[in-house]
Amino acid sequence: MRRYGGFLVLVALVVLAPIVFPGNYFVTVVGVTIAFNALIAVGLNLLMGYTGQISLGHAAFFGIGAYSSGLLTTLMGWNAWLALLAGLLAAWLVAEMIARPILRLKGHYLAMATLGFGIIINILMVQPTHITGGPDGLADIPTLTLFGWAIDSDIRWYGVATGVMLLGVWLALNLINSRIGLALRAVHGSEVGAQMMGVDIERIKVRVFVVSALFAALAGSLFAHQQGFISPDSFSFHFSIELVVMVVLGGMASTYGAVFGAAVLTLLPETLVVFEEYEVLILGAIMMGIMIFLPQGLWVSLSQKVKQIIASNRSTTNPSAIS
Amino acid sequence: MGEVFLQSLITGVTVGSAYALVGLGFAIIFNASDVVNFAQGEFVMIGAMSAVSLLAVGLPFVVAIGFALLITVAIGMMLEKFAIEPAKSATVVSTIIITIGASIFLRGAALLIWGKNFHSLPAFSGEIPIHLGSATLTPQSLWVMGVTALMVLLVRSFFKRTVTGKAILACSANPMAASLMGIPVRRMMLFSYGLSAFLGGVAGVLIAPIAFTSYDAGMMLGLKGFAAAILGGLGNPMGAVAGGVVLGVLESLGAGLISSGYKDAIAFIILLLVLFFKPQGLFGRAGSDRV
């Protein structure tokens, strides 16, 4: 149970926020975006933080989910849930297809390949104007209905988005503590070493890539229905970078860190509206600063500090507790 | 078909020359410090935008370009000093994020200084096109190709013949041994970033009369330069140059024969195919993993 203490705190935060601040813009509107971003970041963290494989193209999977939902519901008149499933299926197929050749690459080559993949998918959203609406995007995407109950208000979306996010966090925590999680960390430590110990590294990397793609696609589908409008800008290279920053800002290989990073990075532009033209500059400075001074990430560094302080307090009050 | 081919070839070599210069810069920095510098494209933008501004202030053309290149070199060195050097023991992922952060930072600064408007430089020697059959060649294209070729030759002989060039190569082979031999490794690093920024700035000034430049013009150019460096095999300077020209030609052929909207997609599809089937690049040697 102790293992999931952090999870209970997160659930409490999510549930209490709209009760303490009812109708607050930062909770019910920005909160939904945070939940979507956190879901993607938690998935990406499985790939980057635990398996050590960088992806500079995860916005593509977010986009595949969003455009599948958007196109199938508006052009083909599909049921929204069916469209969401189709989006997941599409992301799964694409991920499965590219994962094997892409994950054979390492370091800078992997970065370049995922980046190229993301840009290609983004261009496929912009160019076929007659289907996707081109740079202007796709409008009038219907909202979701759950057993005849339309998810049509901010607070309802808050419930759905955070619910799905919590589910994602729960899945990720369980995955990390499973045998697969141990294998992942072995791959991160040393691929050759992991292979020697009998880990099928190629299969495990592909699996995690697919899981992270599905997290992103799910967030994408929900995002499309929640916004009612999507355009290629939301799925560009820039967003892929922001996703990486969320993971890194929190601290790699920390699921709560990914949630924290997503929250900070989503809130940042909202609070910087006053300095709108400084937003790009500040984002760049944060990326450099964190990596130079806190390479372990803000969340991980902070929680280590807290643990240290607690530990030192304990040892001064109870000298026999040193272990 | 023939005309499309010839025209695409001319455009491709011109654009490819710019990619080649950016790719060459990538290769130099990668060799010196094992860092892939995602801010390389911003050097192109800074070179071009500074030249535009200095020209607008009223400086003579050559002086404006000279100062613009100096500014670019200074920014390249500051990048090394303030962002790369403090993060000495960073992992590959960390350095990627640092340099992407630097590129976003520089783009943000450019946005503040120059706004969102598009700018361009006047052509170096007139706009009267030269006709080659049904295709046309602008004098500026000749400038781009000529200066690029000159730069490539200079860089090549710099690494082959000068003591400083050889010292940089020694640092990339083994920084520890190099410093024991009395080579100031940090200064060589600084020099490499300066040189790389200089090449980026030159590319920027050269293509500014052809392509409009704006605060965010550097991103795509940087990515293409990175693609060129990967195509040529990372860490192989002449491979990067060849990779740049190949990329430029294939991309404009694709644009001419298929659709210009898919130009960038074509470039990256080629890149993915090369990575999938020949990950060491077109001109690189295969390596093996160290445990």
Taking only the tens place, the pLDDT of each residue in A210-254 is 999 999 999 999 999 999 899 999 999 989 999 998 998 888 888
Could you report the predicted ipTM of this complex, rounded to two decimals?
A: 0.86
Taking the alpha carbons of B161, B165, B167, B171 in that order, is the dihedral positive or negative? negative
Q: What are A40-77's pLDDT values in tens digits?
A: 999 999 998 888 888 999 999 999 999 999 999 988 88
Q: Does B231 touch chain A (CB under 8 A)?
A: no
Q: How far away is chain A from the Cα of B288, in angstroms, using its nearest Cα?
A: 11
Chain A nearest-CA residue for B235: A108
Q: Give the residue numbers spanning the domain of A162.
A: 2-278
Rounded Cα distance between B215 and A140, Å, is: 33
Q: What is the CATH number of the domain that holds A49?
A: 1.10.3470
User: In a 10 Å sphere around its CB, with 0-12 CB exposed, 13-18 middle and 19+ buried, how is residue A7 labelled?
Assistant: middle
Domain-embedded: residue A321? no
Q: Which of A222-226, B78-82, B277-281 has the lowest mean pLDDT?
A: B277-281
Q: Does A108 touch chain B (CB under 8 A)?
A: yes
- Residues of chain A with pLDDT > 70, as a percent, come to 96
Chain A nearest-CA residue for B101: A284
Contact A277 B264 (CB under 8 A): no
Residue B186, CA distances (Å) to B36, B84, B168, B192 in order:
17, 11, 10, 10
Rounded Cα distance between A290 and A277, Å, is: 21
In this structure, how many other beta carbons lie within 10 angstroms of the beta carbon of residue A147? 4
Residues of chain A contacting residue B107, judged by C-beta atoms under 8 Å apart: 280, 284
Query: What is the domain partition of chain B in residue ranges?
Result: 2-277
Per-residue DSSP letter, B37: -
Contact A116 B87 (CB under 8 A): no
Mean of pLDDT over chain B: 87
Domain-embedded: residue A310? no
User: In a 10 Å sphere around its CB, with 0-12 CB exposed, 13-18 middle and 19+ buried, how is residue A3 labelled?
Assistant: exposed
Name the pLDDT band for A177 (thresholds 50, 70, 90): confident
Q: Does A191 touch chain B (CB under 8 A)?
A: yes
For residue B62, what pLDDT is reported?
A: 92
Q: How many domains does chain A have?
A: 1
Rg (CA), chain B: 19
Per-residue DSSP letter, A127: S
Residues of chain B contacting residue A281, judged by C-beta atoms under 8 Å apart: 105, 108-109, 111-112
- B168-188: average pLDDT: 85
Interface mutation vs chain B, best among A44, A51, A53, A108, most B CBs within 10 Å:
A108
Q: How far away is chain A from the Cα of B160, in angstroms, using its nearest Cα?
A: 27
**In the A/B pair of chains, how many CB contacts fall below 8 A?**
136
Instruction: Please report how the helices A107-126 and A80-103 are oriented relative to each other, as an axis angle in degrees rounded to 10.
Output: 150
Interface mutation vs chain B, best among A103, A112, A293, most B CBs within 10 Å:
A112
Taking 70 as the threshold, does the pLDDT of residue A3 lie above it? no
For residue A1, what pLDDT is reported?
A: 46
Q: What are A78-91's pLDDT values in tens digits?
A: 888 899 999 999 99
* CB distance B58 to A248 below 8 Å: no
Q: List, as ranges, residues 234-253 from A with C-beta within 8 Å of B.
A: 237, 241, 244-245, 248, 252
Amino acid at B105: F
Q: How far away is chain A from the Cα of B83, in angstroms, using its nearest Cα?
A: 7
Rounded Cα distance between A224 and A84, Å, is: 10
Q: Which of A79-83, A314-318, B9-13, B238-242 has the lowest mean pLDDT?
A: A314-318
Mean of pLDDT over chain A: 86
* CB distance A131 to A71 below 8 Å: yes
Instruction: For B1-25, give one letter per residue: b (16+ CB within 10 A) or e.
Output: eeeeebbbbbbbbbbbbbbbbbbbb
Query: At A205, is the secondary structure helix, strand, or coil?
Result: helix
- B100-114: average pLDDT: 92
Contact B100 A241 (CB under 8 A): yes
Structure tokens of A99?
A: 């994962």
Looking at per-residue confidence, does B63 or A130 come out higher? B63
For residue B291, what pLDDT is reported?
A: 40
Q: Which of A54-68, A276-290, B190-204 has the lowest mean pLDDT?
A: A276-290
Taking 80 as the threshold, does the pLDDT of residue B8 lie above it? yes
Contact A288 B227 (CB under 8 A): no
For residue B179, what pLDDT is reported?
A: 85
Residue B178, CA distances (Å) to B163, B168, B171, B244 in order:
13, 9, 5, 31
Contact A108 B230 (CB under 8 A): yes
Residues of chain B contacting residue A102, judged by C-beta atoms under 8 Å apart: 276
Contact A108 B234 (CB under 8 A): yes
Terminal CA-CA length for chain A: 23
Contact B102 A127 (CB under 8 A): no
Percent helix / strand / coil, chain A, rounded to 5 = 80, 0, 20
Q: Which of A6-15, A29-38, B44-53, B258-267 has the lowest mean pLDDT?
A: B258-267
Which CATH fold would you assign to the domain B2-277? ABC transporter involved in vitamin B12 uptake, BtuC (1.10.3470)
For residue B195, what pLDDT is reported?
A: 95
Domain-embedded: residue A286? no
Give the highest mean pLDDT range of A186-195, A218-227, B29-38, B246-255: A218-227
Residues of chain A contacting residue B230, judged by C-beta atoms under 8 Å apart: 108-109, 112
Q: What are B9-25's pLDDT values in tens digits?
A: 898 999 999 999 999 99
- B99-105: average pLDDT: 92
Q: List, as ranges, residues 118-137 from A with C-beta within 8 Å of B.
A: 119-120, 123-124, 126-127
Rounded Cα distance between A302 and A310, Å, is: 12
Contact A119 B223 (CB under 8 A): yes
Domain-embedded: residue A309? no
For residue A79, what pLDDT is reported?
A: 87
Query: Tokens 């289907």 belong to which residue?
Result: A131
Domain-embedded: residue A314? no
Residue B35, CA distances (Å) to A55, A244, B85, B98, B112 in order:
17, 18, 11, 10, 28
Taking 90 as the threshold, does the pLDDT of residue A166 lie above it? yes
- If residue A245 lies in a helix (H) or strand (E), which one and from where to where? helix A237-250
Q: What are A5-29's pLDDT values in tens digits?
A: 888 889 888 888 888 888 787 888 8
